[in-house]
Structure 1
């Protein structure tokens, strides 16, 4: 089949699944660049020339097209996703990173790349005095990106609740050639068991489950059909359950300067902010994402024994 005919077939097959033309085209290029092993410009050239697709490749593309028709996310179909311009391995065991998480990571990098809010200039002498904890790491995209962008920080710890999840994160760390200390921890059961060293500056970041079960109807089917339930949903009666555990853990285990960064549910952002204030956190700032929703919150706290 010629690639232009496949494009038409692709769009016709998925037009009811993805109603926005821009999204449909983005998925087409993600699929074709992956299997044709070329960039988008090359695919566009092939389309303009109406080049034929190798029969073996065409069979692969057609098989993956049916997976897409059944709502399987393109990231799982090709086995990878892009985050901060870098490729990360993903499968159904881990949540697919989103643009708002990139914005959260960008906020952390801007705060700590020099000596911005920490008042600690990052030199070889004192870089050992800063540690980062990524709680609920999933694919490892947050901790790995922070290590790549803040290489002077030596101690970055990442935790999640299963060996299968951590296996994906470790593969990504190896692929990007960074050293992350991974730990199997269930946030709701044994977060307190993470060994904590006393450091002057501590950065805690988390993108925990925060979608209330009643909000499931607002999601695209490819999210709740394929992405891990435990990485998405929280009970309506206690939507802050993960934030509470992390904040109590911070108050109990840490001393010194603590910078807390959370990705949050825009529908309950005031509840999260008020709970942080009630728990004793100060210097709280909440930010909107590029779409104008309150999706990120930061608190800077000095904790003394």
Structure 2
């Protein structure tokens, strides 16, 4: 039988080389222990101070999960969930782990929402939904949005999104569509009175940038959700933009998460494609990581 103090020491010694930043290591420890013991951080701190014992089965479970962390497996996959906008989302290796930068993108939409013409119906297309965190958060925060179409090319990802929608008791439309392929039939041409919002955090990391990523991202997160070819890094933005021109009518508000290294290329592409009111924004780390633009679609 082990103790909280013993596990804390083993945890620190095992991961200190992988995670040299003490605050990050502490955060990982509390994420794991609060998950396993189904309690809050304060309770874990009290058990540490009291040098409480841990029964054999639970201690064994903790050691096994520590070993997963030692193998660079992200904590979110180890515990089976991640937090986004203060809400818990089921995640596994089939979906990209929700990030703080994406929270900022969603916050931007929510801030803008009050300025839309609310005489019109609002619908959202979340392209590359993954875990569904963007769609579900928007529906949770703004239940008056009429339709939210969560679109992904991977059925496994949509299965996770469906679980999360059920977990948060929201109704969204889940669509298995590959935006890179022709013949997309979703959605049908829409009424001009709709306010259409397109949001996407598509793959945008160039293959040549792979070496700069943390090993736990490269080893465990889905390749198809991360990388784009060096010779066409804007492939998803192009496909989404052409899809807008072909399928939608009226004003379309677009919110993209982007690669900070090629933000000028993205702005240039949007301008040439006919988007206007283009605005770029930095994330909490000071990188140009998101862009908003407007398009007036006549429908072709």
TM-score by length of 1: 0.95
Compared CA separation, residues 262 and 56, structure 1 to 2 (3 A): same
2:259 paired residue among 250, 258, 265: 265
Q: Give me the whole-angstrom Cα distance separating, in 2, the residues matched to 1:259 and 1:84.
A: 22
Match of 2:241 among 237, 241, 247: 247
Alignment of structure 1 residues 155-170 onto 2, 5 Å: 155-170=147-162
Q: What's the counterpart of residue 186 of structure 1?
A: 178
- Within 1, Cα distance between the matches of 2:33 and 2:164? 23
Cα distance change on mapping 1:27 and 1:190 into 2, 3 Å: farther
Paired residues for 1:195-214 under 5 Å: 195-196=187-188, 197-198=190-191, 199-214=193-208
Partner residue in 1 for 2:117: 119
Task: Tell me, in whole angstroms, the C-alpha distance in 1 between the residues paired with 2:298 and 2:214.
Answer: 45
Q: Is the 8 A contact 1:204 1:259 kept in 2?
A: yes
Q: Judge conservation of contact 2:280–2:290 (CA < 8 Å) in 1.
A: yes
Q: State whether residues 32 and 43 of structure 1, in contact with CA within 8 Å, keep that contact through their aligned partners in structure 2.
A: yes
Equivalent position of 1:62 in the other structure = 63
CA distance in 1, matches of 2:136, 2:31: 23
Q: CA deviation at 1:195?
A: 2.1
The separation in 2 between residues aligned to 1:13 and 1:148, in whole angstroms, is 39
Structure 2 unaligned blocks of 5 or more: none
What are the within-5 Å matches in structure 2 for residues 46-61 of structure 1? 46-61=47-62
Measured against aligned partners, the alpha-carbon deviations of 1:209-258 in whole angstroms (never above 9, x if no partner) come to 00001111111100000000000000111100011000111112111111
2:187 and 2:247 in contact (8 A); partners too = no
Which residue of 144, 152, 174 corresponds with 2:144? 152
Q: Which residue of 1 aligns with 2:43?
A: 42
Unaligned runs of 5+ in 1: none
Contact 1:191 1:249 in 2 (8 A): no
Corresponding pairs, count: 296
**1:281–1:300: 8 Å Cα contact kept in structure 2?**
yes
Separation (CA, whole Å) in 2 of partners of 1:256 and 1:92: 38
Q: How many Å separate the matches in 1 of 2:215 and 2:108?
A: 30
TM-score, normalised to structure 2, is 0.96
Q: Give the Cα separation in 2 of the matches to 1:204 and 1:63.
A: 42
Q: Which moved more, 1:25-34 or 1:49-58?
A: 49-58
SS at match of 1:192: coil
Runs of 4+ aligned structure 1 residues displaced above 6 Å come to none
Residue matched to 1:280: 274
Query: What is residue 22 of structure 2 aligned with on the other side?
Result: 21
Cα deviation, 1:69-102, whole Å, max 9, x if unaligned, reads: 0000000000000000000000000000100000
Distance 1:43 1:246, change over 3 A: same
